[in-house]
C-alpha cells in the first residue's frame, strides 16, 4: 500500500488489488470472515483507478492524476492504515475454522461459479476459484481456470469497444474455453 501511496503507477494499483484479492481468498479458504469487508473496500477503492488505467491507458493524465490523489487520500485513512497490521494479527492469532475446511470452502467457490450465468460475474468467481486452487497446490486445474478467466477477460475488454469485429469470435472462444473447464469446476462442486 505504501508504494501506491507514494507513486500510484498502474502496476502498483494492480498489485494492490491482486494482493487484496489473494488475502481475501486465503481467509475464505480458512473459513474466516474477518476483514472481508475491509479487503473488499480496498479492492473497490483501487478499482476506479485500475478501471481507468485499463480503459484509457495514458490518455487524459489530468483525470488520472485526480483519481490517483483520491486513491492516495483513501489509503491514508485510518481504515487503510490499520489493514496490514490487522491482517497480520488475524493470521497469527486465529486457528483455521474447521466448519468446512479448505476442501469445503473450495466446494463452495466451485458451486458459486456454476450458479453464475453473467459472464463478468463468472469471470470474478472463476478468478477466486483459480486462486484457491493455486493456494491448495492444485496448479494443473488452476491453469485451466486461468485460461477461462483470460478468455472471459478478453471478451469483456472487447465489450468496451463494441464496434470491434472480433467481439463475436472472442465470445465464442470464451464459451469454448468455459465448456472445457466446466467439468473441472463441477468436480470440485460435488
With 60 as the cut, is the pLDDT of residue 5 above it?
A: no
The structural domain count of the chain equals: 2
Measure the CA–CA gap between 149 and 120, rounded to whole angstroms: 10
For residue 118, with 0-12 CB atoms within 10 Å meaning exposed, 13-18 middle and 19 or more buried, which class applies? exposed
- Considering the domain architecture, whether residues 32 and 74 belong to the same structural domain is answered as yes
pLDDT at 82: 92
Q: Which triple of cell numbers denotes residue 49?
A: 483507478
Grid look-up 459472464 returns 119
Q: What percent of the chain has pLDDT over 90?
A: 35
Q: pLDDT by residue (tens digit) across 160-174?
A: 665 667 777 888 888
Instruction: Provide the grid cell at 147.
Output: 485460461
Domain that holds residue 66: 2-93
Q: Is 87 found in the same domain as 16?
A: yes
Burial class (CB in 10 A: 0-12, 13-18, 19+), 26: middle
Is residue 118 located within the same domain as residue 54?
Answer: no
Residues 88, 6 within the same domain: yes
Res 95 pLDDT > 60: yes
Phi-psi region of 150 (alpha: psi -120 to 50; beta: other; left: phi over 0): alpha
Measured distance CA(173)–CA(135) in Å, rounded: 27
* Reported confidence tier of residue 67, pLDDT bands at 50, 70, 90: confident
Q: Is the pTM of this model over 0.85?
A: no
Same domain, yes or no: 54 and 38: yes
pLDDT digit string (tens) for 101-146?
788 888 999 999 999 888 888 889 999 999 999 999 999 999 889 9
pLDDT band at 60 (very low <50, low <70, confident <90, very high): confident
Residue written as cell 468436480? Answer: 187
Per-residue confidence band for 152, with pLDDT thresholds at 50, 70 and 90: confident
* pLDDT of 159: 74
Take residue 130 and report the three cell numbers written for it. Answer: 483459480
Q: Is the domain of 9 the same as that of 81?
A: yes
Amino acid at each position: 500500500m505504501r508504494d501506491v501511496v507514494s507513486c500510484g503507477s498502474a502496476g502498483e494499483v494492480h498489485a494492490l488489488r491482486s494482493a487484496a484479492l489473494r488475502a481475501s481468498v486465503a481467509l475464505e479458504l480458512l473459513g474466516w470472515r474477518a476483514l472481508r469487508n475491509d479487503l473488499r473496500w480496498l479492492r473497490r477503492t483501487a478499482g476506479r483507478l485500475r478501471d481507468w488505467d485499463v480503459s484509457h491507458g495514458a490518455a487524459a493524465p489530468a483525470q488520472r492524476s485526480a483519481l490517483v490523489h483520491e486513491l492516495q487520500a483513501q489509503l491514508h485513512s485510518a481504515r487503510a492504515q490499520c489493514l496490514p497490521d490487522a491482517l497480520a494479527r488475524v493470521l497469527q492469532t486465529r486457528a483455521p475454522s474447521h466448519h468446512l475446511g479448505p476442501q469445503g470452502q473450495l466446494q463452495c467457490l466451485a458451486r458459486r461459479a456454476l450458479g453464475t450465468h453473467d459472464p463478468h460475474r463468472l469471470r470474478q468467481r472463476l478468478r477466486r476459484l483459480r486462486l484457491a486452487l493455486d493456494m491448495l497446490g492444485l496448479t494443473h486445474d488452476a491453469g485451466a481456470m486461468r485460461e477461462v478467466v483470460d478468455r472471459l477477460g478478453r471478451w469483456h475488454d472487447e465489450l468496451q469497444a463494441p464496434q470491434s469485429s472480433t467481439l463475436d469470435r472472442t465470445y465464442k472462444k470464451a464459451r469454448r474455453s468455459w465448456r472445457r473447464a466446466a467439468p473441472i469446476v463441477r468436480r470440485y462442486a460435488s
